[in-house]
Amino acid sequence: MSRTLRVRTAAVAAAVLALSLLGPATTAEAATTTATYTGDFGTVFTNPERGFHNRYEIVNDPSVNDYASNTIPGFNPDMLDRTFARAKADGDTLIHSYVHLDKYQTTDLPQPLLDNLGTGLAAIRAQGLKIVLRVAYVWDGYSAVTEPQMERHIDQLAPVLAANADVVMHLEAGFFGAWGEWHESPYTAASEQNQAPVRAALVKKLLSSTPASMPIAIRYPIFNYEFAHGTTMTTQDLDRLGFHDDCFLADSADMGTYDQNSWLGWFDVSVKKQWVYDYATSTGGNKIVGGETCNASGGNDAAGVNAQYELSHQHWTEINEDYAAVNTDLWKSANMAASGVDPAETLFTRIKRKLGYRLRLADATFTNPAAPGSGFTFSAHLVNDGYAGIIKPRPVYLVFDNGTNRYNVQLTGLDPRTWKSGAVTVATQTVTLPAMVSGTYKLALWLPDQATGLRANPAYSVRLANTGTWDAAKGYNVLASAVRVGACTGDCTPPTAPTLSAGAVSGQSVPLSWAGATDNVGVTGYRLYRDGTLLASPTGTTYTDTNVPAGTHSYTVAARDAAGYDSPSSNTVNVTVSGPTDPPPVGLVLDDFDGTPAYPAAAKNDLGRWTGGNCFLNGGGNGVVSGGALALQYNTCGWFGSDVGQDVSGYTYLVVRIKGATGGEQAHFSLALGGATKVFGDFVLDGGGHPAITTAYQDIKVPMAANGINRASPSQLALGFWYGGSGTVTVDSVSFQ
């Protein structure tokens, strides 16, 4: 773990008492440890309740939802997939869905529809995701459903929403007009005061019929102004009302988003935008802001200036990844220079990293050693590198975990919704520890979901943007590997630092060895790091790092004892590795990673179409090209995409020349192409076998027709590393033969 420790003492006497091996600190001025942490500025990783989202039809029964049928133009069966494979392959934690009520404009909702909505929300929960919902009566047309009918439908939907509130991120107000988007309706002319009571009544009905923790996004800022200044809504109600912009950067006024006249007066576009910049809850948090682009990009710019400014100043939390390509493709093609703590990357990657919150821990100070049943103090400094704060309520816990006993101690004085963009100071919190078993504990910061039923699933816990702190299995962020609680028995002293050295490099293999670490009881193992990322945890004093990407790499090692104490880091050893030679592929080459075009800077493959990656542990999230091959280092996170965009019916095979660091990586990732998505090891090869990755390059030839790949419309080749594995695969080339 990349952090340093130092001990502060309030008084000499207190320090002597606190640090003695005879027992824990028993005075008010107990010793404290301050740990500093290494920020992760480039990795794209998943976090709940934020980011890009994909569209699905969560009501997937065509008997109650015509849009779940292939009789509807533009129908895509992928949108009925209740495993949400596409969203998960994209690294998204949110999906968006309409609840289509076209068939029920004058009748009650049938029970099968309500039941199907409930099972759809249960599928969301099973996959560790959350949903943004919008009710609509028409797709592209005029809607004039009566107010009593809409309120009746809200009454029917309310029990389903309440029962599944844990996985509903927020509602878009919906109901009125085309797409439920508050136009093409008899109730949504902002200039008509006589329509305002119906708008207010609908929103009040939604607010009173849904849990207080469920935000509601309003389509136009002028209506939020109307609710605040032209109704009697309470502060608590107004706190829940956010904004969804469904034509982000379409033109200077976002295609009508900011330029309606109002019965309350005329307000310039700049004034209305300032309202959004200033949106805040009465408790100091951000309101929900999200939406999508639309099929116009007049307000977008190739340099990405407008997008970055508006997303950051309006504090966006989520946006549609599916619509519209005229804008999202612009972001994928815009290469951003390094700026501040942001690395060089495409604008799309930058937005993917920074939508919503991105909390980075700078340092933390906490009692160490501590006493069971006594006071424990904690304070910290964080930075939120994202566009917004956490939107929904979320508890904060300190976790003491020794592998056998786990104690979750809530920091009740903290509301992470107030940790908005910029520097964050967590003032000293004092809690009373429970009657814990004495021993050495791992100390962690845990920000689980507010719903107790989701807390066992780490997918719903917040990951901090730090190197070496995230425990994916437990869903918490490790602050220290060894905090003593109670009387010290046995090993209470960390090991000394080892001395690291490297042998002669052979090809892509780096032999490493170390010596010199000692401990008062005994060293039990080591933690070896390459370029600041944990590489291995050997028990011996030698290790050979294989399949090392070309370039210069830094290595360090730390010793660990049985009590869990880590030594200081060793000296740093820098090693330069040359890459393999590239065997040229034949056929239609999607990419041979020979540096032309340069990956990821050019964002183009050998067909001249978009390519890129994110969430990998190397290359700032993109992976690293060296020696004519693309190395992708992953840990249950990573996505690589490369657009094909042309008919490949003249070819029989997709050929992937690939190797793994250890072999067996075919179970760690999926491959999607032409409407087919499978775990790589599940593709069927000629003769009935399946792909098996080894430590040597091999051409894996996937017969496309036999695996259901649409060769006439292959769209994009995508690799998704979301299947619980960690390691490195190196792709030498991808071609069609």
Compute the distance between CA of residue 469 and CA of residue 474 in angstroms, rounded to an integer.
Answer: 11
Compute the distance between CA of residue 683 and CA of residue 698 in angstroms, rounded to an integer.
Answer: 16
Compute the distance between CA of residue 78 and CA of residue 707 in angstroms, rounded to an integer.
Answer: 17
Do the two domains 499-577 and 588-736 of this chain adopt the same fold? no
On whether the CB atoms of residues 577 and 553 are closer than 8 A, the answer is yes
Side-chain-side CA neighbours of 131 within 13 Å: the count stands at 30
Compute the distance between CA of residue 386 and CA of residue 375 in angstroms, rounded to an integer.
Answer: 33
- Please name the helix (run of DSSP H) or strand (run of DSSP E) that holds residue 388, with its range, or none: none
Residue 2's pLDDT is: 41
Compute the distance between CA of residue 43 and CA of residue 351 in angstroms, rounded to an integer.
Answer: 12
Rg (CA), the chain: 28
Residue 188's pLDDT is: 97
Q: Token pair for residue 652? A: 């029989």
Compute the distance between CA of residue 462 and CA of residue 396 in angstroms, rounded to an integer.
Answer: 10
Q: Which has the closest alpha carbon to 517: 525, 529, 509?
A: 525
Q: Token pair for residue 185? A: 């309706």
Residue 187's pLDDT is: 97
On whether the CB atoms of residues 576 and 606 are closer than 8 A, the answer is no
Residue 71's pLDDT is: 83
Question: End-to-end CA distance of the chain, in Å?
Answer: 45
Low-confidence ranges of the chain (pLDDT < 70): 1-30, 489, 578-580, 582
Residue 114's pLDDT is: 98
CATH class, 588-736 region: mainly beta
| CB neighbour list of residue 407: distance below 8 Å, 6 or more residues apart | 399, 400, 401, 433, 434, 436
Residue 279's pLDDT is: 98
3-class DSSP string for 686-705 = HHHCCCCCCCCCEEEEEECH
| Domain boundaries 3-44+358-485, corresponding CATH code | 2.70.50
Compute the distance between CA of residue 111 and CA of residue 122 in angstroms, rounded to an integer.
Answer: 17
Residue 67, judged by CB atoms within 10 A of its CB (0-12, 13-18, 19+), counts as: buried
- What are the domain boundaries of the chain? 3-44+358-485, 52-214, 218-355, 499-577, 588-736
| pLDDT tens-digit series, residues 40-84 | 999 999 999 999 999 999 999 999 999 999 888 777 888 999 999
Residue 230's pLDDT is: 94
Side-chain-side CA neighbours of 462 within 13 Å: the count stands at 30
On whether the CB atoms of residues 454 and 166 are closer than 8 A, the answer is yes
Residue 582's pLDDT is: 53
DSSP-derived letter for residue 459 is G
Side-chain-side CA neighbours of 81 within 13 Å: the count stands at 18
């700049």: which residue's tokens?
A: 270
| Domain boundaries 499-577, corresponding CATH code | 2.60.40.10
Residue 26's pLDDT is: 32
On whether the CB atoms of residues 156 and 113 are closer than 8 A, the answer is no
The type of residue at 618 is: N
- State residue 99 phi and psi, 5-degree precision: -110, 105
Give the number of other CB atoms < 10 A from CB of residue 302: 12
CA angle 90, 691, 544 (to 5 degrees): 85
E strands along 65-167, which residues? 94-100, 130-136
Give the number of other CB atoms < 10 A from CB of residue 252: 12
On whether the CB atoms of residues 571 and 720 are closer than 8 A, the answer is no
Compute the distance between CA of residue 673 and CA of residue 710 in angstroms, rounded to an integer.
Answer: 8
On whether the CB atoms of residues 308 and 350 are closer than 8 A, the answer is yes
Q: Token pair for residue 2? A: 């990349």
3-class secondary-structure state, position 208: helix
User: Rounded to the nearest 10 degrees, what angle do helices 325-333 and 347-354 cross at?
Assistant: 100
Whats the size of the chain, residue-wise?
A: 737
On whether the CB atoms of residues 426 and 381 are closer than 8 A, the answer is yes
Residue 73, judged by CB atoms within 10 A of its CB (0-12, 13-18, 19+), counts as: exposed
Record: fold of 52-214? TIM Barrel (3.20.20)
Give the number of other CB atoms < 10 A from CB of residue 21: 12
Compute the distance between CA of residue 57 and CA of residue 9 in angstroms, rounded to an integer.
Answer: 59
On whether the CB atoms of residues 59 and 113 are closer than 8 A, the answer is yes
On whether the CB atoms of residues 594 and 628 are closer than 8 A, the answer is yes
Residue 186's pLDDT is: 97
The reply to whether the predicted model has a pTM over 0.85 is: no
CA angle 440, 455, 216 (to 5 degrees): 140
Compute the distance between CA of residue 531 and CA of residue 721 in angstroms, rounded to an integer.
Answer: 21
